Amino acid sequence: MIMRSLISLRSRQRRTGHPGWVRTVTAAALTGLVGGLLTIPAHAAAGPNLQLPFPCGQQWRLDTWGHAPALDMVKEPDQTGTEGATLVAPAAGTVNKSYYHENAGNVIQINHGGGWFTTYLHLQSRAVNVGASVQQGTVIGRVGRTGPTSNNHPHLHFELGYDSNGNGEASWGYAGAERVQPTFNGVTYGSANSQTYRNVTSRNCGGGNLGVLDFYLSDNQSSSAATRPVFAYGNSPMVPITGDWDGDGKDTVSTYDPTAGRFFISNNPATGQAQYVFAYGDPNAVPFVGDWDGDGKDNVGVRMGNRFYMRTSPVTSATETTQSVAYGDAPMIPLAGDWDGDGKDTVSAYEPASGKFLISNNPATGQAQYVFMYGDPNAVPFVGDWDGDGKDNVGVRMGNGFYLRTSPVTSGTETTHSVAYGDAGDLPVIGDWDGDGKDSQGIAR
């Protein structure tokens, strides 16, 4: 990440004034401007109830520099983590624009209704397309430094606009544009140039259910403490998944957004940045992960009804190829594992009502080769290689405990290993975080 002091950022932005946005400002465009700020007509609909466009609890610095009421935002306390930071919708709306601008870089504009729009500049990546409906807290992209007018400095340039001329969008990026002062969580910002607001806390919390996912991972199957630095990736209601996406022998966490049916895959999730984003299957499908061809790289799949759909094109590919198989009953939970050590994962199922695992090396037959109970009914099942023998086994999460079945799936004898880790309400994740061939536990909260 390229870091500069805030003093340097101030001097550069005042000097440039976003010169790349060269437009002709006519007298008509200046109508309704008082002191450089747009006056909202008395008949205008009430503005949207905005929250800061970042996950709940994060603190950001807001500056007007020389372009009030527009705001530039960097992460507190020292800008670390600004580049690649998760950007979320500040209010519900419909994506009006999502494109790359030659000067402003990646740009998104959201129509919040009633003539109100929010615009986001210099994004590292965009996670929504034109026409997409978003709710407050929906992930829409990542903060970046794209476009020459970013001065190559990671920050979010944010504008609230009102469509005063009725053309179906809000102009942005220059003096005289249709931009107005934004209000976040009841506090109004951006009344004049050269204003700085420190430690502004995001209350973009989705009624208490929406927030960033923090991951706590351990390399030690017997340790109740995280052995790796805690990091944030994705946000609820995303579902955590894990896989070895690049074949380096190490698993990394990624996420699945059930509301859109989209996967957000990363080989370095600590950056907060998804490297590959794609939709697969229907929204609200049940995701799973496995190595379908034995090449050492994992791929994704979804369970819809009683059918497993496995994406066979690499996660790096924009082309989608797939294979599918019917196995088990619709209420069952999908699993995937290399049960026989041949290097290929096959799908299997867990029946929550009975606590039974139905394991198969050839699910296309529709027949389970090994059926056994493990743990209590309605536990949370997972799969991993606990001893590094190249063969996967099963486990369950009950309360705050991870229970690892150490006897082979082929065995009628049950042996187990357990460890308390995290809180009962945390989401379990399993992976080989250090590449030693053995999987271990983690949680997302």
As a three-state string, the secondary structure of the chain is: CCCCCHHHHHHHHHHHCCCCCCCCCCHHHHCCEECCEECCCCCCCCCCCECCCCCCCCEEEEECCCCCCCEEEEECCCCCCCCCCEEECCCCEEEEEEEEECCCEEEEEEEEECCEEEEEEEECEECCCCCCEECCCCEEEECCCCCHHHCCCCCEEEEEEECCCCCCCCCCCCCCCCEECCEECCEECCCCCCCEEEEEECCCCHHHCCCEEEEEECCCCCCCCCCCCCEEEEECCCEEEEECCCCCCCCEEEEEECCCCEEEECCCHHHCCCCEEEECCCCCCEEEEECCCCCCCCEEEEEECCEEEEECCCCCCCCCCEEEEECCCCCCEEEEECCCCCCCCEEEEEECCCCEEEECCCHHHCCCCEEEECCCCCCEEEEECCCCCCCCEEEEEECCEEEEECCCCCCCCCCEEEEECCCCCCEEEEECCCCCCCCEEEEEC
Tell me the pLDDT tens digit for each residue of 366-376: 999 999 999 99
Tell me the pLDDT tens digit for each residue of 41-78: 544 556 788 999 998 778 999 999 999 999 999 999 99
Query: What pLDDT is recorded for position 64?
Result: 97
Query: What pLDDT is recorded for position 45?
Result: 55
Fold of 58-202: Glucose Permease (Domain IIA) (2.70.70)
Was domain 212-444 assigned CATH 2.130.10? yes
Query: What pLDDT is recorded for position 359?
Result: 98
Query: What pLDDT is recorded for position 41?
Result: 54
Where do you find CATH 2.130.10 in the chain?
212-444
* pLDDT tens across the length of the chain (445 residues): 222 222 222 222 332 333 333 222 332 332 233 334 555 554 455 678 899 999 877 899 999 999 999 999 999 999 999 999 999 999 999 999 999 999 999 999 999 999 999 999 999 999 999 999 998 888 999 999 999 999 999 999 999 999 999 999 999 999 999 999 999 988 999 999 999 999 998 878 654 334 578 899 999 999 999 999 998 888 777 899 999 999 999 999 999 988 889 999 999 998 877 889 899 999 889 999 999 999 999 999 999 999 999 999 999 998 899 999 999 999 899 999 999 999 999 999 999 999 999 999 999 999 999 999 999 999 999 999 999 999 999 999 999 999 999 999 999 999 999 999 999 889 999 999 999 999 999 999 8
Tell me the pLDDT tens digit for each residue of 126-173: 999 999 999 888 899 999 999 999 999 999 999 999 999 999 999 999
Where do you find CATH 2.70.70.10 in the chain?
58-202
Query: What pLDDT is recorded for position 259?
Result: 81
